[in-house]
Structure 1
């Protein structure tokens, strides 16, 4: 694994294709911080545990790759809004974000320093990411579902969604808009607790692809265009769209090749150094948790 031009990383992990062995669990749970280990144990289902565990491992591997910090010396904290950040002092400024939904966990990261992006208007680059499975299984007709979700999109966004030719295209447009909104609020750390109608996206590229990234969607906040924001959109596979929200990344940085790279567990723990002792009792408790039904 290596950094892409501009100091970027885009990783995706196939959760549905991963059923960790006991050895995998023993290794993985020794490579996270004690408070993370305690938090993960509270999940009821294995799916949620696995997704959060992989997210923590992706964060640690990214920082190790981006900064050269020793794997077991990396220390994460959470800000007042709950967003993880790197606590270690150093010459590199990194930002990263993780998300999981459907069959994938994803990480988007960037590092300033070396070949990484410079600051814009004296502000550090920041990043947010979201992934969505393009499906609807709510039981109600799609039109009724849209009616119930009316307050989450601006009039402009609804016009775009409803202008699509059929329900499949409308659903994809809905998920794209939702994914973009989530990437933005995850970047700024406010959560989906604000008036989402005030966060209004204009989507220009009609289709997304697995082999290229579109960066021409724009955002208005309270009807005012936002400066110094850029948005990447692509597909991980035909059923999962992903959006990355970038703030203060120079306009001349080419983001068009930032497709998500599928990584496996072996790659994810390459060069690891355990933080904690092997805990067989803890892993026995995790193995006893049930999986949800995953398609």
Structure 2
């Protein structure tokens, strides 16, 4: 028997103006190659969003494995998807982890699954013999800011949706805002699904058809909608389970679970200080110099 527990975290960066000390504490615990990767971002907001995503992954692994926060290491698979680089003695643990992170606008979201194999019930069960489980998460801002009209945007994006999806998005009683929210809900679900697969939106999205939960309206801070149904190539996908969340009136999020169905909960909102620890490395000249240069980056407006 395998018991799955889900961690759902969200960080609102909208009101965060990082101090030199905070940024140094954050950079000190991530790997050198991650610091290099972050430098590609032109805007401070994108830099901070990606940095916070890395901190959320570390907090999750450290909390659930007992490994020191600063000692958690990650690598990337051939698809570029991060995974926990376990030490040899940790690979035999009965506790297995899966996680995913996403960010857009002011929000960074994280979803993680902890699977505990109950070996006491059957000594023949091992972590390696259980069905592979996974999780994907995505967050979308419910707005359209493109140069074209919304109608033209919908025309261009039409071939990314199944007929049933598009009928729901363009329902006659939906005004323009309702259509936009319905569009973003479906897109968020598709992104969460393909992120768990690790393939990005390179597959035929028209073959992925979601029937969204319409039993009640999404509510900020409320429990997620859980009645979403997925069909791929017109075949029901019974090994997938979905949650839809509303983090803010303008931000929706979706979580895709493969081969697991955790207890339903809302996202827990974390502060930046929840992700930081004090280390001697944070006082190094090199890291402080990097932080000063980062803080000179231009900010976006929300």
The answer, yes or no, to whether TM exceeds 0.5 is yes
Q: Distance in 1 between matches of 2:254 and 2:228?
A: 10
The count of aligned residue pairs is 283
Q: Is the 8 A contact 1:94 1:109 kept in 2?
A: yes
Bigger drift between 121-130 and 214-223 goes to: 121-130
Q: Within the alignment, does 1:263 sit opposite 2:270 as a pair? A: yes
Following TM superposition, by how much is the alpha carbon of 1:273 offset from its aligned partner in structure 2, in angstroms? Answer: 5.0
SS of 2:223's partner is coil
Q: Is the 8 A contact 2:224 2:266 kept in 1?
A: yes
In the alignment, which residue of structure 1 is the partner of 2:14? 16
Q: Is the 8 A contact 1:72 1:275 kept in 2?
A: no
Q: Distance in 1 between matches of 2:48 and 2:247?
A: 19
Q: Is the 8 A contact 1:98 1:105 kept in 2?
A: yes
Q: Within the alignment, does 1:95 sit opposite 2:105 as a pair? A: no
Q: Within the alignment, does 1:45 sit opposite 2:48 as a pair? A: no
Map 1:160-179 → 2, pairs under 5 A: 160-163=168-171, 164-179=173-188
Q: Within the alignment, does 1:124 sit opposite 2:132 as a pair? A: yes
Q: Is the 8 A contact 1:81 1:189 kept in 2?
A: yes
Summarize the Cα distance change of 1:293–1:60 in structure 2 as closer, same or farther, 3 Å threshold: same
Following TM superposition, by how much is the alpha carbon of 1:293 offset from its aligned partner in structure 2, in angstroms? Answer: 2.2
Gaps of 5+ in 2: 119-125
Of the candidates 57, 65, 68, which is equivalent to residue 66 of structure 2? Answer: 68
Following TM superposition, by how much is the alpha carbon of 1:276 offset from its aligned partner in structure 2, in angstroms? Answer: 7.1
Q: Deviations over 1:90-132 (max 9, x none)?
A: 21210110000121001000111279xx98x931220000000
Of the candidates 99, 107, 110, which is equivalent to residue 110 of structure 2? Answer: 107
Q: Within the alignment, does 1:207 sit opposite 2:217 as a pair? A: yes
Summarize the Cα distance change of 1:207–1:284 in structure 2 as closer, same or farther, 3 Å threshold: same
Q: Distance in 1 between matches of 2:174 and 2:71?
A: 53
Q: Is the 8 A contact 1:32 1:276 kept in 2?
A: no
Of the candidates 63, 80, 83, which is equivalent to residue 81 of structure 2? Answer: 83
In the alignment, which residue of structure 1 is the partner of 2:145? 137
Q: Distance in 2 between matches of 1:273 and 1:178?
A: 40
Of the candidates 132, 149, 155, which is equivalent to residue 147 of structure 1? Answer: 155
Structure with greater helix percent: 2
Gaps of 5+ in 1: none
Q: Within the alignment, does 1:54 sit opposite 2:61 as a pair? A: no
Q: Within the alignment, does 1:216 sit opposite 2:227 as a pair? A: yes
Q: Deviations over 1:205-233 (max 9, x none)?
A: 25212211111111111111112100011
- Alignment RMSD (CA, Å): 2.1
Q: Which runs of 4+ in 1 moved over 4 A?
A: 272-277
Of the candidates 31, 37, 43, which is equivalent to residue 29 of structure 2? Answer: 31
Q: Distance in 2 between matches of 1:166 and 1:274?
A: 55
SS of 2:210's partner is strand
